[in-house]
Structure 1
Amino acid sequence: MPKKKNTRKTILKIHRILGLVTGLVVFVVSITGCLWVFKEEIESFYDDYKYVTPQEQAFLPASTIKHLAEQVVPNRTIHGVIYGQPNEAIEVVFYEAEPEVFYHSVYLNPYNGAFIKQIDNDAGFFGFVLKGHLRLWLPDAIGSRIVSYSILLFLFILISGLFLWWPRNNKNWKQRLKFDWNAKTRWKRKNFDLHTVVGFYVSTFGLIFAFTGCVMAFNWFYFIAYKATGGSNDPRFVIPESETRLVVEKDAGPKYDQLIPMLYDVYKEAKSFELHYPENDSTSVLVEVSNSKGLYYNMDYLFFDQNTLAEIETPSIYGKYKNTSFADKVIRMNYDIHIGAIGGIVGKIIAFLASLICASLPVSGILLWYGRKYKKAKVKKYNLEIA
C-alpha cells in the first residue's frame, strides 16, 4: 500500500511539473486550434473573389496561367495551380520557405486570365492564428520546437492525469464523474472538479489532438505511427522521375497543358485539380485530385511523365486513394482528424468545443497548484506566529 501511495505521489509531482512547464503553450495552442477549425466556413462569408461567371468555353491552359501569374508576382516560386468548378476562379499558389516564408495566392479568371485578387495567406486574422498555433508567434526555429515538445509532453500529462483521476475506492466514482455542488461548495472544490471531471471527459479528444499533432511535428513519430498500424509502403511523399527524355519542340507547348482537360473527363465528380509544374526536365508532373470538399485524406495523387503524359506509379502512400491500405488511410486522415473535418460539420463543432475545454485544463491546474501552495505557506506562517 505505501509503495502504491508513493507511486501516486511521484506521478502527481511529475504531472504538476509538466503542467506548469507546458501550461501556457497548451493554452495558446488549444485556443488558436479551436479558432482554426472553422477557417473555411468563416472565410466563405467574404470570398466573392473566388467565383466567376461560368462560360461556355474551355479553361485557359496551365502554361498560360503560369505566365499570367508570374506577371503579377514576378521572381517567385509557383507551388501549384488549382482548377475548380466552372464558377470558380483559378488559384495560383506561390510558396517559398526560405529565407522567409512567402505564401501568396493569385486568383485569375479561368476563361480570359483576367487578374482578380492577390492574397497573402500568411497575413490577416487566420495567418495570425496559425503562427500562434505552430510557433507561438516566435521565430520558427524556436517557436515550433517549443510547441512540438510541449504537445509531446501534453500526451504524458493526459495519461498521468487519467491515472490520478482513477478513484481509489468505489465511493469516489460518483464524485469523479459529475459535479456535486451546493450553496456551500467552495471555489477550490469547484476548481478541482472542473479540472478532474472536465479533464476526464475531454481527455480522449485531448489525446487525439496531441497524438495527431505529434504525427505532424515529428518525423520519427510519424514513421512509428505508420508502422504501428501495419504500414508497409513508403510513408514519405515521393515524386517519381519522368520515364522518358524526349526532346519537345519549342512551339508545341508543354504536354502538361493537356492534363487538366483530360482529367476533367475522367474524374467527373472531382471538386478541384491542383497541378504542380515540374521542377526540372526530369521530374514528373503531379496533379492532386480533390474528391471531397474540405477533406484531404481521400485525394488522388497522380503522377505523369512530362513528355508522354504516361501515368507513373509511386511507391508512396500518396497515390490513388483506392489503392491505399488501412495504415495508409489512417496516416492520410491525420490532418482531417486533427481539425475534426473527418466528421463533417458535427466533427468540427466537437473539435472546437473539445479544444476550448482543453485550454481550460492548464488554467484550472495552475489554480489548483497555486491554491495548495498558498495554503501551505499560510499554514506555515500561522504556525510560526503561534510559536
Structure 2
Amino acid sequence: MSITLRKIIFWPHLVSGVIAGLVIAVMSLTGAAIAFESEIVGWADSEARRVQVPAPDAPRLSVDELLARVKAARPKAQPSGVTVYPEPDSAVLVLTGRAEGVYVNPYTGEVREQGAKGWRSFFHVMEEWHRWLGAQGDNRPVGKAITGVANTAFLFLAISGLYLWWPRKWTLRAMRPTLWFRRGLKGKARDFNWHNTIGFWALPVLIVLTTTGMVISYKWASDLVFKLTGSEPPAAQGPAAAPAVKVPTPPEGAKPIGLEPLFAEARRQVPAWETITVRLGGGQRPNAPQGPQGQAPAPQAQGPQALTFAIREQGAWPLFAAAQVSMDPFTGQVLRRETFADYNLGRKARSWMRFLHTGEALGWFGQLLAAIASLGGVLLVWTGFALSWRRFFPRRRPSATAVEPEPAPAQSETAA
C-alpha cells in the first residue's frame, strides 16, 4: 500500500481529534454559551440598574458619598472600582470584588444588589469550564494546560482538515458533497457530508478563534505577536500596560481631593463618553494604576500612585478601545492621556486578538459568528467521533448490496 501525503496528514488528524475531541467539544459549547454574556447580563440587569429621577435638575450625590453609602450598607465589602453611566436614570456601579458589585442610586444613595443572579451564575460556570475545565484552586493550572493543548490541537485539525478537504479536481460534481448539506443521507455518508460542510464554512472563524486562543494561552505566542511587529514583549503575559505614572510628591500632610472632581475632569477629557471606570485597587494598594480591560495592571511604583480612568467613547473605533486618563489624586492634574492610537503595533495587535477571540472586536456580528462557529465545533467533534467509530468498528452487512456507497474518490474522509 503506497503512502501518500494525504494519508500522512489524515492519520494525525484522526488521532488528534479522537484524543482532544471531548475537551474541544466542551470548550466549543461553553464558548458558544458565553458569546453574548455582556448583552444578556445587561438586558437581565436593566431593571436593577434603572432608578427614578426625582426631577430633571435634581442634584446627584458625589461619588465619594456613594462609596460611603456602600461601606455603611456593606461593612465587609471593599470597593474595588466605580463605573458611571451618562443616562440620568442609571445607577452607579460600585465593584466589591473581581466580578461582584452593587448598584447605588445617585440621587438617594440607596444600595441595591445586582440583578440577573441566575444568568451571572450560569456564565460563571461556563467560563470556568471554558478556561479550566471546571477546575478549582490549585488544580486550575492543570485545567488551563489541558485547554491550551486542546486549543492547539483544534488549530491543527482546522488546518489539516482544509488540506484533506481540498478537491483533487475543482469541479461542481467533486465539490458538491462537501459544500452544502445533502438530503436523504444516513450513517457514514451523512456524517461525512456534515463533517466536511461544517468544517468548510466554519474554517475561517475557527482558525481565528484557535489562533487567538493560543496567544491568550501561551506567553511565547503572545511574545511572538510583539516580536513580529517589532515591539518589545512585556514582562507579563497579555497586552502591555503602560508604565506606572509618577505622581509629584505632595506637600506633607496633603490628602487626596476625592473622586468627584476627578470624575468631572474625566468627563471633560472625553465629552462624548459612554462609560467611565476607575479601579481602586481590589487587593492592591489603594490608587494603584490599572491597565485597560483585558490587560495586566501597570507595574506598581513606590510612593503616591495616579488614578487611571478608563473612558469608553460613543462611536469609537476599535469598539473595545478606551482612553486611559491618569490623574494626580492630590491635585486632579492630568498626568497622562493615552488612547488606542498611542499604542505600539504589538500592543495594538495583541489587544485585537484578545477581542477577536470573543468576537467582540466586530460587535454583535462578530459575536454571532463566533457562537455559530463554536457550535459547529461541537458538531465537528460529534461527526468526527462517528466517522472514527465506523472506521475502527465497521458494521457487518448481511449482503454486499446493502453496503452504503463510499464517498466519491475525489474526496478524502476526515475524522475529527
Instruction: Give TM class, smaller chain.
Output: 0.7 to 0.9
Cα distance in 2, alignment partners of residues 118 and 339 from structure 1: 24
Cα distance in 1, alignment partners of residues 264 and 183 from structure 2: 68
Cα distance in 1, alignment partners of residues 92 and 118 from structure 2: 16
Cα distance in 2, alignment partners of residues 84 and 289 from structure 1: 11
Long gaps (5+) in structure 2: 287-302, 398-416
Structure 2 counterpart of 1:80:
81
2:277 paired with 1:274? yes
Paired residues, what number? 364
Richer in helix (by share): 1
| 1:108, distance to aligned residue in structure 2 (A) | 0.6
CA deviations over 1:290-345 (Å, ceiling 9, x no partner): 1248976311122223333333348xxxx312323554333222333222233333
Percent sequence identity over aligned pairs: 22
Q: Which aligned pairs between 1:121-140 and structure 2 lie closer than 5 A?
A: 123-139=120-136, 140=140
CA deviations over 1:107-152 (Å, ceiling 9, x no partner): 1112332112146799522222222222222222332222222112
| 1:370, distance to aligned residue in structure 2 (A) | 0.4
Cα distance in 2, alignment partners of residues 240 and 117 from structure 1: 34
Cα distance in 1, alignment partners of residues 325 and 383 from structure 2: 49
TM-score, with length taken from structure 1: 0.83
| 1:372, distance to aligned residue in structure 2 (A) | 0.6
Cα distance in 2, alignment partners of residues 73 and 150 from structure 1: 42
Farther-moved stretch of structure 1 (126-135 vs 265-274): 126-135
Structure 1 counterpart of 2:41:
43
| 1:272, distance to aligned residue in structure 2 (A) | 0.8
Q: Which amino acid aligns with 1:265?
A: R
Q: Which amino acid aligns with 1:246?
A: P
Cα distance in 2, alignment partners of residues 141 and 233 from structure 1: 23
> Are the structure 2 counterparts of residues 61 and 133 from structure 1 closer, same or farther at C-alpha, using a change threshold of 3 Å?
same
Q: Which aligned pairs between 1:61-80 and structure 2 lie closer than 5 A?
A: 61-80=62-81
Of residues 322, 332, 337, the one that matches 2:356 is 337
Q: Which aligned pairs between 1:167-182 and structure 2 lie closer than 5 A?
A: 167-170=167-170, 173-175=174-176, 177-179=178-180, 181=182
Structure 1 counterpart of 2:18:
20
Cα distance in 1, alignment partners of residues 378 and 315 from structure 2: 29
> Are the structure 2 counterparts of residues 165 and 114 from structure 1 closer, same or farther at C-alpha, using a change threshold of 3 Å?
same
Of residues 228, 249, 255, the one that matches 1:245 is 249
Preserved CA contact (<8 Å) 1:239 1:283: no
Structure 2 counterpart of 1:385:
none
Of residues 320, 326, 331, the one that matches 1:297 is 320
Structure 2 counterpart of 1:262:
265
Structure 1 counterpart of 2:240:
236
Structure 1 counterpart of 2:291:
none
| 1:59, distance to aligned residue in structure 2 (A) | 4.2
Cα distance in 2, alignment partners of residues 49 and 127 from structure 1: 19
Of residues 390, 402, 405, the one that matches 1:371 is 390
Long gaps (5+) in structure 1: 97-102, 380-387
For residue 14 of structure 2, give the secondary structure of its aligned residue in structure 1. Answer: helix
Preserved CA contact (<8 Å) 1:78 1:93: yes
Q: Which amino acid aligns with 2:227?
A: K
CA deviations over 1:23-45 (Å, ceiling 9, x no partner): 11111111111121222332344
> Are the structure 2 counterparts of residues 286 and 239 from structure 1 closer, same or farther at C-alpha, using a change threshold of 3 Å?
farther
Preserved CA contact (<8 Å) 2:179 2:200: no
| 1:181, distance to aligned residue in structure 2 (A) | 4.2
Structure 2 counterpart of 1:94:
96
Structure 1 counterpart of 2:413:
none
2:105 paired with 1:106? no
For residue 137 of structure 1, give the secondary structure of its aligned residue in structure 2. Answer: coil
Q: Which aligned pairs between 1:159-238 and structure 2 lie closer than 5 A?
A: 159-170=159-170, 173-175=174-176, 177-179=178-180, 181=182, 183=184, 185-231=185-231, 235-238=239-242
TM-score, with length taken from structure 2: 0.77
2:33 paired with 1:10? no
Cα distance in 2, alignment partners of residues 121 and 253 from structure 1: 39
For residue 95 of structure 1, give the secondary structure of its aligned residue in structure 2. Answer: coil
Cα distance in 2, alignment partners of residues 189 and 258 from structure 1: 68
Q: Which amino acid aligns with 2:91?
A: A
For residue 370 of structure 2, give the secondary structure of its aligned residue in structure 1. Answer: helix
Farther-moved stretch of structure 1 (154-163 vs 119-128): 119-128
> Are the structure 2 counterparts of residues 208 and 188 from structure 1 closer, same or farther at C-alpha, using a change threshold of 3 Å?
same
Farther-moved stretch of structure 1 (194-203 vs 162-171): 162-171
